[in-house]
């Protein structure tokens, strides 16, 4: 999964990949179905686009108030 996500351009930590596996491995079989992998990538793409709007200098960091964070999350859902 980590390699597949890397091939899609995501550089994510092992703990994050493990968390994503737990969330999208709906039957708890140690792997996810292709459809769930596509759904995960759609979610990542949507959140990445929202993050990039807030990351005005494109350095991978943003500083948000709690309300700005909530607004960012609400806009992508």
Under DSSP, the state recorded for 30 is S
- Show the domain range for 47: 2-76
Q: State the CATH number of the domain containing residue 13.
A: 1.10.238.10
pLDDT tens for each residue of 24-50:
998 888 889 999 999 999 999 999 998
What span, in angstroms and rounded, lies between the C-alpha atoms of 45 and 43? 5
Percent of the chain whose pLDDT exceeds 90: 48
Instruction: Quickly tell me which residue has 């909530």 as its tokens.
Output: 70
Rounded Cα distance, 33 and 47, in Å: 21
The residue-averaged pLDDT of 4-17 equals: 90
As a whole number, mean pLDDT of residues 14-23 equals 92
Distance CA 44, CA 50 (A): 10
Asked if residue 64 lies in contact with residue 54, where contact means CB atoms within 8 angstroms, the answer is yes
Number of domains into which the chain is organized: 1
């Amino acid at each position: 999964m980590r390699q597949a996500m890397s091939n899609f351009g995501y550089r994510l930590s092992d703990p994050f990949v493990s968390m994503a596996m737990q969330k999208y491995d709906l039957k708890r079989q140690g792997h996810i179905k292709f459809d769930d992998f596509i759904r995960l990538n759609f979610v990542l793409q949507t959140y990445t686009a929202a993050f990039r709007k807030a990351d005005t200098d494109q350095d991978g960091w943003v500083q948000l108030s709690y309300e700005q964070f909530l607004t960012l999350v609400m806009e992508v859902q």
